[in-house]
Structure 1
Amino acid sequence: MKKIIILGILVQIFVLGAQGQETTSNELLTLDEAIDKTIANNKDLKIQRNLVEISYNNVFRGNSGQAPTISFAADGKFSQNQANIDIRTFQENPALVTIDAEGVQSTTLAAGVRADYLLIGGFRGKYTYKLLENEQSISRYQQEAVLNGLILGVSDLYYDIAKLQSREELVIENVEISRDQLRRIENQIEFGQATGGLALSAQTDINQELNALDDVRLLKNNLVKELNFLMGIDPETDYLVSVNFQDPPLLETSELKAMVLDENPQLKISDALISVSNNQLKLSESAKYPQLNAFADYGYYRQQNDAQQLAKLETLGYTAGLSLNFLIFDGSRVNRGIKNAKIAIENSETQASLVADELVKEAVKEQSQLLILKSKLVRQENDLATFTDNFTRTQDRFERGLASSLDLREALRSLLNAKIGINDAKLDILKSVAKIRNLTGEILKQFSE
């Protein structure tokens, strides 16, 4: 029965971090602390929080047309013109009365309050509101996806730094052993038991190890700066990292798949997009139904004109009524929109299924890799005792003149590679565990805001 490992192997290492200013070189930074700093300071996450807040602010009845609107309007006009007016009298004599005046003034004032409310709209307001709720959910799930990705990114960098810093310690230890060997060779030269060429070869080996140490430190320091960037702190910050491996519990493969399908934030987004497509279909169908709108206004109107027969008009009162709108023909625009909305639903469902298949595939692949890493670690731990014993024996034979410096160097290199391989395998296991927890959304339960 296939199983997966959720945590790592029991061991603890402390390794030196990058050079910097924000913390002292003796301060420890745990993985949880690094993630907490990222949650607090990361700018991408801050942007996503603001988008979530915007989506929450958009969800209210007035934004979906389900609340009445009340507006106030006022208008005032004044004009002064030359007027030439011919008025029919409908008499034979005179047939027209002519008014010709200079500086004719006209004043118009109007003010009023109007209220509108959609009584029947084919459920347009209802489904518009549901779409606003969908946008809110999608924004929240997108925030979870960003957080999930950041936690995985921080974890990967943290474990890679620990891997390199552990390697740095092992190389430093190797350099000290090589220097001790060089001192012994120099002592042998004094007593005529070794040649200068042997000392030169030993010094060359030390120089190669120091070059390798510089390469490790350079790569480590670059990764530290990347991690500091994600945490939103000074790139030159200095700290120690502490990695704790624990014997992991196991999950059935079926349980792993169920967790991915239930908790992964990308799948939650896909499900929300299906809901969006369904509500878009309902919104398109609402255009087929009549709309009944109620309105009322209360206002004041005044008009005064020097040239007109009606010298002054002034009103104050209200008007109320209903307006009905029913679409009879629009050239199949609504029907085509409904048809396309149904196709969009099918696409959303297919996309959700594709995302689910991809995520499950990644989880199963990661599980297989994790099991291989665990088997590899067991073999490497079994081989370590052999490499250690071989180095001890070769060192003893070298001191008694029974082994060459090349033999000793090869034994030391094999022991170093064995130790590096074990540490790398353990940290690769933790990276694989972090990837699985990312796919299942499990890490969000620990660090959800």
Structure 2
Amino acid sequence: MRSIFFALALILMVFVHIGNAQEVLSKDEAIALVLENNLGIQVARNTNKIDENNASIFNSGYLPSVTANAAGSIDRQNTEGILGNGETRTADGAETRRYNASVNVNYTLFDGLGRYYNYKSFKERSQQSELEVRQTIETTILQLFSVYYEVARLTENTSNLEQALGISRDRLKRAKYQFEYGQNTGLDVLNAEVDVNTDSINLLNSRQQLRNTMRDLNLILNRELSSQFKADTTVSFVPELQMESMQNEANMNNVRLLIAEKDININDYGIKVARSDFLPTIGLTGSYGWNESNNNSPLAFVIQNTSTGVSGGVNLTWNLFDGGRSITGFKNARISKENQELLQKQIELEVERDIQNAWDSYTNALYVLEVQEKNLQTNQNNFKRTDERYAMGQVTSIEFRQAQLNLLNAELAQSQAKYEAKLAELQMLQVSGQLLNVDF
């Protein structure tokens, strides 16, 4: 048993040395890293860039199209012709060369306002994409802090277990001295050694959980998984939060509601685009062309011909009946908008439920934290008195160990309650749309 004890102690000394060399990863640094490196956020931002490109003037249909054409041909033929006086003439290998080039411009003057509403729809989609980036950032930050605070909790737990191990070691030394002077039996020494080994194993397990959770956090930050750091265990709460104000903020700023509102606008423009199919299309065309032909045949009336010119025109197209495609598209667009309005009402109900659930969880977590802090204070006082009485031989080692375990459990419970309360606050802030507007 002594060899096991010394082996555990050596492993713990190595871990303590490694832990002391770690730098503190502050909350602000973690946020900066996740905003810069997280792959999900990068994908959302790239999607937003695509939607911004789609909403540009170059994708609107408002600009004219300009095309250039050029061609050339060579024609060799053997020909025979009879003149008016009856004379017959032949031309072997008569060559005709033709060249042409043109620049053409087409512009849609009016298309039933379809391109106008398409352009407005692309703008709405671009703004909606920005909201989706914000939604991704909010979700990622909430995920970040759920892991970050778990690292902080395990850090505090490890520290509390180290203190518990230190107390158990002191108790073991005291038991050995008392046994040497005949003040107790060897059973007290064995019990103390068992408790030291138990505390050592608990500390090793806690350190292993801490390392695993650090890797989880490094994964979210998209950096080297083996990077070592310490988490900031300081927790501060947003003061004076009120349920009514949180509900109002949610109605105005909840990202799901804002995205649903953009969907309504996009579907409304979709109806107007479908309606434009019933109207005529008016377009303008223009071209500048050059043509040249050379003919060396003696039968040709014109040996060489060159022409240049400008042409323009107006065209009108009105699809009077397309088999019902436009009517079907218009009806489906109206149904799509109706479905989106129903989804919006569903989201409104869900957000109202979420904010009430989040508020209840938040207030309950704060109450639990307050109770756990009082419980911790009570156990600290109880352990202090028990330690004093144990030193004077007024309590047994079993009673001392129970007081020590009660203190340790109170410390772990208070630490867990603190971080659960903070996460409950962050979840409530996310539902209310205020997560990115507060200090962490």
* 1:391 counterpart = 2:383: yes
1:324 pairs with 303, 316, 324, which one? Answer: 316
Q: 2:270 maps to which residue?
A: 280
**In structure 1, what is the Cα distance between the partners aligned to 2:222 and 2:20?**
17
Q: 1:374 maps to which residue?
A: 366
Mapping of residues 8-19 of structure 1, within 5 Å:
none
Distance apart, 1:400 and its partner CA = 4.2
Q: 1:10 maps to which residue?
A: none
Mapping of residues 94-133 of structure 1, within 5 Å:
103-133=93-123
Mapping of residues 252-263 of structure 1, within 5 Å:
252-263=242-253
SS at structure 2 position matched to 1:107: strand
**In structure 1, what is the Cα distance between the partners aligned to 2:366 and 2:424?**
11
Q: What's the CA shift string for 1:334-378, capped at 9, x where partnerless?
A: 011000000110111222222232233222112111111122222
1:411 pairs with 377, 400, 403, which one? Answer: 403
1:68 pairs with 21, 43, 64, which one? Answer: 64
Unaligned runs of 5+ in 1: 1-17
Q: 1:270 maps to which residue?
A: 260
Q: What's the CA shift string for 1:43-78, capped at 9, x where partnerless?
A: 332333333233323333342211222222211223
2:419 pairs with 419, 423, 427, which one? Answer: 427
Structure with greater helix percent: 2
* 1:442 counterpart = 2:434: yes
Q: 1:242 maps to which residue?
A: 232
Task: Tell which deviates more after alignment, 343-352 or 36-45.
Answer: 36-45
Task: Tell which deviates more after alignment, 224-233 or 207-216.
Answer: 224-233
Could you say if the C-alpha distance between residues 217 and 24 of structure 1 is closer, same or farther in structure 2, counting changes exceeding 3 Å? closer
Conservation of the 8 A alpha-carbon contact between 2:268 and 2:337: yes
SS at structure 2 position matched to 1:116: strand
TM-score w.r.t. length of structure 2: 0.87
Larger RCO of the pair (alpha carbons < 8 Å, separation 6+): 1
**In structure 2, what is the Cα distance between the partners aligned to 1:379 and 1:446?**
26
Conservation of the 8 A alpha-carbon contact between 1:19 and 1:238: no
* Alignment: residue pair count: 423
SS at structure 1 position matched to 2:313: strand
Mapping of residues 26-425 of structure 1, within 5 Å:
27-80=23-76, 83=78, 103-246=93-236, 248-305=238-295, 309=300, 312-425=304-417
TM-score w.r.t. length of structure 1: 0.86
Letter in 2 for 1:201: N
Task: Tell which deviates more after alignment, 263-272 or 281-290.
Answer: 263-272
Letter in 2 for 1:377: L
Letter in 1 for 2:247: K
Structure with greater strand percent: 1
Distance apart, 1:324 and its partner CA = 0.8
Distance apart, 1:102 and its partner CA = 5.3
**In structure 1, what is the Cα distance between the partners aligned to 2:88 and 2:154?**
104
SS at structure 2 position matched to 1:78: strand
**In structure 1, what is the Cα distance between the partners aligned to 2:394 and 2:20?**
48
**In structure 1, what is the Cα distance between the partners aligned to 2:88 and 2:375?**
121
